[in-house]
Chains A and B, each alone.
Chain A
């Protein structure tokens, strides 16, 4: 069972962990509970930086000490020192002064937690994820939603675009889809799409684990604005902690708000395609096999069982919450109103995801910040040869001087699924393209020709490069057709890795056709 609440407690011990390193966190937690007599102890979610976790935070008198990757045997002495009236500092990663009782994680001056901004991440790793007492003081946003016109107008004015590939309104203004949903016949449903099988892309999982109330509150607010009757939280079967937190948060919200909207938590397959917005709906409807649906009409008009359905990611919904919480302060200045974006950052080779030390680091960037900022959040020595932005079907770029906005990312040919992978000199760009094409060939749903057959022929054409034939025009033509004619984002996105690899590194393709791998990787 989750701890009650921790904000305002003094002295306090927090144990922050999530996803892959939660079992380590539980161990520290029971050690802390055992040692503590007058210190409040609570389990909190991940800060988004698994490299530091399990992380123990010792707080007293407006000061917090950070113990990263804390060994279990150290916990006893940390608690002891704290209870003796002193802030423990031996082996500490950082000590940060802050306002006593602050509702947001105090940020060290250095290291990954100092990078970018922490707005939607603010409570992650600090508040007890499912505690209503720890939820920001002004209370639940959903309870404030009265007039649907007003809520939709606020979201429209903020020009909020859907975040991530699992959002049915990815990169387009979500208010347009809300309008369609409101006009469509039938009672609306809201799907929170948190099923991301790409282990490079962890931002939605982090939000659901560490700030599930914010995610569900955003969804409930949307639900009220649209008179929805159901919210379905669609998780990945492998993300057990996210499922658990979502279920607890749902119970809390139903008790607190006596809401007329029912909330269900469901677990879909750990497959990349299952995260596509319409395949999410297919899964939720109980199909035994997944394939994408045609569009238009979009799910917002005809979705779950034919009902108007909003499919949004946790990332989108926390932004909805931010906008609606700001409410009347309609003076919100232009561009920053588009909100922050979350990125999972890792260097290549690190993204297996099962290994706790290598899970990606979450970074939040304001719209005017460049992706380059995110680089500081992880250890990456040496020359940056390229970055892949957008996840498994992201785009390659030689420069990270690209603003963290959907249209800027798109204009640079990059993906918007919130992932930055850093590649050093030893990475071969032809092998990169080949691997991503094979992934597309193996994982697609099989419905449409440009994707099903296109990924297969793309793989063949890339194989031919190794046999001395690099057909630049033929490959580009195929990529164009995959991009313009695939039914869903899977096939469109699957064209991106090769297209951007050719744009930025064509000499490597020519070199391979001449039997040479410049990175010295391919035989």
Chain B
């Protein structure tokens, strides 16, 4: 959403696809997420962070400043991702909260760096917020690190250790009855939603970067989950082209390459990632040859707008759908 550079796209995309085609694809993509405003600063800004002043170029959020120094308080900023990469800020985990003299406690990953702002990372309210929100995430996370394919290279694990989490306030998600089955249908990627923190990186990687239009956010409340735009239930039945971008950006063990599913687990006899949960969907597919599926299906069934037009008079005004800057 920020920079429109295509540097991360594979070279062949440019030869096969005109800009026009690409924008047509973008229009058909329905990731189910909100169109956030641009939260990056418009101008260079000098801000003071924990007593030291730093000048940030236009296009910066407060987190860009925090990342350039050793802050007093540890700021996990778990869901953030390099915003140059067209991914984020989703700003959902709220483990990047800092206190500012001007606006109180704000999420640093999605707050524009404004000239003259004064930021404190170690203020009590901000530290409490980061701790509580991290524990809230862990409270809904299947924390079986020993059987997880991302053990040792997991961002959630890293920040939890760094934040000194010993016993999460709200426990960890450990109710076998309520586990979502692991989606093991794809020969390339395994999905374990019990480890998903809903950071949306995979959805953005798939839609905004790859323009593959496979993944989406679906549901609401505690039923919010990563799903497929063609409304199928498993990765195998989705329109995935197995580019792997989603796996690369996933901070947790929710998306793992099939080859690595058991690679980093601590070998306990008879105890694997799959049987750690005991529910698996799409096992039948394993070993099947993977065929490419069309990138975008012609028809989506559940992507109807929630709003209905009651009455639209022609008027003399313009269509609501216009670009801000024309």
CB pair B219–A446 under 8 Å, yes or no, is yes
Give me 24 A-to-B residue pairs in the complex whose CB atoms sit less than 8 angstroms apart, sorted by A's number: A187-B318, A229-B318, A230-B320, A235-B310, A251-B311, A266-B309, A266-B310, A283-B305, A287-B32, A287-B305, A288-B306, A290-B306, A291-B33, A296-B111, A302-B37, A441-B221, A446-B223, A449-B95, A450-B133, A455-B221, A481-B94, A481-B129, A481-B133, A485-B97
Among B17-25, B135-143, B248-256, the stretch in contact with A = B135-143
Contacts of B322 in A (CB 8 A): 186-187, 305, 307
Taken residue by residue from 108 to 123, chain B's Cβ proximity to chain A (1 for < 8 Å, 0 otherwise) reads as 0011100000000000
Contacts of B91 in A (CB 8 A): 294, 448, 487
Contacts of B38 in A (CB 8 A): 297, 302
CB pair B34–A485 under 8 Å, yes or no, is no
Bound CA–CA A290/B303 (angstroms) = 12
Residues of chain A in range 255-291 having any CB-CB distance to chain B below 8 Å: 259-269, 273-274, 278-279, 282-291
Interface of A, secondary structure class, is mixed
CB pair A282–B34 under 8 Å, yes or no, is yes
Among A84-92, A472-480, A496-504, A507-515, the stretch in contact with B = A472-480
CB pair A477–B37 under 8 Å, yes or no, is no
- Which residue on B lies nearest to A447, using beta carbons? B92
Interface centre among B94, B169, B218, B323 (most CB of A within 10 A): B94
- Which residue on B lies nearest to A299, using beta carbons? B37
CB distance from A187 to the nearest CB of B (A): 7
CB pair A292–B34 under 8 Å, yes or no, is yes
CB pair A266–B302 under 8 Å, yes or no, is no
Bound CA–CA A64/B257 (angstroms) = 78
In the complex, B259 has a CB within 8 A of chain A:
no
Contacts of B32 in A (CB 8 A): 287-289, 291
CB distance from B208 to the nearest CB of A (A): 16
User: Contact residues of A with B, CB < 8 Å?
Assistant: 184-187, 189, 229-230, 232, 234-235, 237, 243, 246-247, 250-251, 254, 259-269, 273-274, 278-279, 282-297, 301-302, 304-308, 441-450, 452-457, 460, 474, 477-478, 480-481, 484-487
CB pair B316–A262 under 8 Å, yes or no, is yes
Bound CA–CA A484/B92 (angstroms) = 13
CB pair A267–B307 under 8 Å, yes or no, is yes
CB pair A278–B310 under 8 Å, yes or no, is no
CB pair B311–A305 under 8 Å, yes or no, is no
Contacts of A261 in B (CB 8 A): 315, 317
- Which residue on A lies nearest to B317, using beta carbons? A262
CB pair A295–B218 under 8 Å, yes or no, is no
CB pair B128–A302 under 8 Å, yes or no, is no
CB distance from A469 to the nearest CB of B (A): 13
CB pair B110–A232 under 8 Å, yes or no, is no
Bound CA–CA A448/B220 (angstroms) = 11
CB pair B315–A262 under 8 Å, yes or no, is yes
CB pair B35–A293 under 8 Å, yes or no, is yes
CB pair B315–A449 under 8 Å, yes or no, is no
Given contacts A261-B317, A287-B34, A293-B34, 8 further A-B contacts (CB under 8 A): A259-B316, A263-B315, A286-B307, A296-B112, A446-B198, A450-B136, A453-B139, A455-B221
Interface of B, secondary structure class, is loop
CB pair A266–B307 under 8 Å, yes or no, is yes
Taken residue by residue from 51 to 90, chain B's Cβ proximity to chain A (1 for < 8 Å, 0 otherwise) reads as 0000000000000000000000000000000000000010
Take A267-B310, A296-B112, A456-B222 as given contacts and tell me if A449 and B136 are in contact as well, using a CB distance cutoff of 8 Å: yes
CB distance from B197 to the nearest CB of A (A): 8
In the complex, B101 has a CB within 8 A of chain A:
no
CB pair B314–A485 under 8 Å, yes or no, is no
In the complex, B4 has a CB within 8 A of chain A:
no
In the complex, B217 has a CB within 8 A of chain A:
yes
CB pair A302–B324 under 8 Å, yes or no, is yes
In the complex, B39 has a CB within 8 A of chain A:
yes
CB distance from A461 to the nearest CB of B (A): 8
- Which residue on A lies nearest to B322, using beta carbons? A305
In the complex, B30 has a CB within 8 A of chain A:
yes
Take A268-B307, A297-B39 as given contacts and tell me if A291 and B34 are in contact as well, using a CB distance cutoff of 8 Å: yes
CB pair B310–A289 under 8 Å, yes or no, is no
In the complex, B213 has a CB within 8 A of chain A:
no
In the complex, B177 has a CB within 8 A of chain A:
no
CB distance from B215 to the nearest CB of A (A): 13
In the complex, B304 has a CB within 8 A of chain A:
yes
Take A282-B34, A294-B37 as given contacts and tell me if A446 and B312 are in contact as well, using a CB distance cutoff of 8 Å: no
CB distance from B89 to the nearest CB of A (A): 8
In the complex, B125 has a CB within 8 A of chain A:
yes
Instruction: Give which listed residue, B33, B307, B321, contacts A305 with CB less than 8 A.
Output: B321
Bound CA–CA A230/B315 (angstroms) = 9
CB pair B221–A250 under 8 Å, yes or no, is no
CB pair A266–B39 under 8 Å, yes or no, is no
Bound CA–CA A294/B39 (angstroms) = 8
Contacts of B89 in A (CB 8 A): 294
Bound CA–CA A481/B137 (angstroms) = 13
Contacts of A290 in B (CB 8 A): 220, 306
Contacts of A480 in B (CB 8 A): 125, 128-129
CB pair B318–A273 under 8 Å, yes or no, is no
Contacts of B325 in A (CB 8 A): 185-186, 306
Interface centre among A254, A456, A481 (most CB of B within 10 A): A481
Instruction: Give which listed residue, A189, A269, A297, A448, contacts B92 with CB less than 8 A.
Output: A448
Bound CA–CA A290/B307 (angstroms) = 11
Take A289-B218, A290-B306, A301-B37 as given contacts and tell me if A230 and B128 are in contact as well, using a CB distance cutoff of 8 Å: no
- Which residue on B lies nearest to A453, using beta carbons? B136
- Which residue on B lies nearest to A244, using beta carbons? B310
- Which residue on B lies nearest to A491, using beta carbons? B94
CB distance from A269 to the nearest CB of B (A): 5
- Which residue on A lies nearest to B323, using beta carbons? A306
In the complex, B36 has a CB within 8 A of chain A:
yes
Take A254-B315, A291-B33 as given contacts and tell me if A454 and B136 are in contact as well, using a CB distance cutoff of 8 Å: yes
Contacts of A302 in B (CB 8 A): 37-38, 324
- Which residue on A lies nearest to B37, using beta carbons? A302
CB pair A263–B313 under 8 Å, yes or no, is yes
CB pair A283–B223 under 8 Å, yes or no, is no
CB distance from B134 to the nearest CB of A (A): 9
Contacts of A186 in B (CB 8 A): 322-326
Contacts of A304 in B (CB 8 A): 320
CB pair B34–A288 under 8 Å, yes or no, is no
CB pair A251–B137 under 8 Å, yes or no, is no
CB pair B311–A446 under 8 Å, yes or no, is no
Bound CA–CA A457/B168 (angstroms) = 12
Residues of chain B in range 161-177 having any CB-CB distance to chain A below 8 Å: 169-170
In the complex, B132 has a CB within 8 A of chain A:
yes
In the complex, B189 has a CB within 8 A of chain A:
no
In the complex, B107 has a CB within 8 A of chain A:
yes
Q: Which 8 pairs between the two chains have the least Cβ-Cβ distance?
A: A262-B315, A446-B224, A262-B317, A186-B324, A247-B311, A302-B37, A306-B324, A289-B32
Contacts of A274 in B (CB 8 A): 306
CB pair B94–A450 under 8 Å, yes or no, is yes
Interface centre among B92, B104, B317 (most CB of A within 10 A): B317
Take A291-B34, A447-B92, A484-B129 as given contacts and tell me if A452 and B224 are in contact as well, using a CB distance cutoff of 8 Å: yes
CB distance from A272 to the nearest CB of B (A): 11
CB pair A485–B129 under 8 Å, yes or no, is yes
- Which residue on B lies nearest to A242, using beta carbons? B310
Instruction: Give which listed residue, A445, A474, A487, contacts B169 with CB less than 8 A.
Output: A474
In the complex, B93 has a CB within 8 A of chain A:
yes
In the complex, B105 has a CB within 8 A of chain A:
yes
CB pair A453–B140 under 8 Å, yes or no, is yes
Bound CA–CA A293/B39 (angstroms) = 11
CB pair A485–B105 under 8 Å, yes or no, is yes
CB pair A262–B110 under 8 Å, yes or no, is no
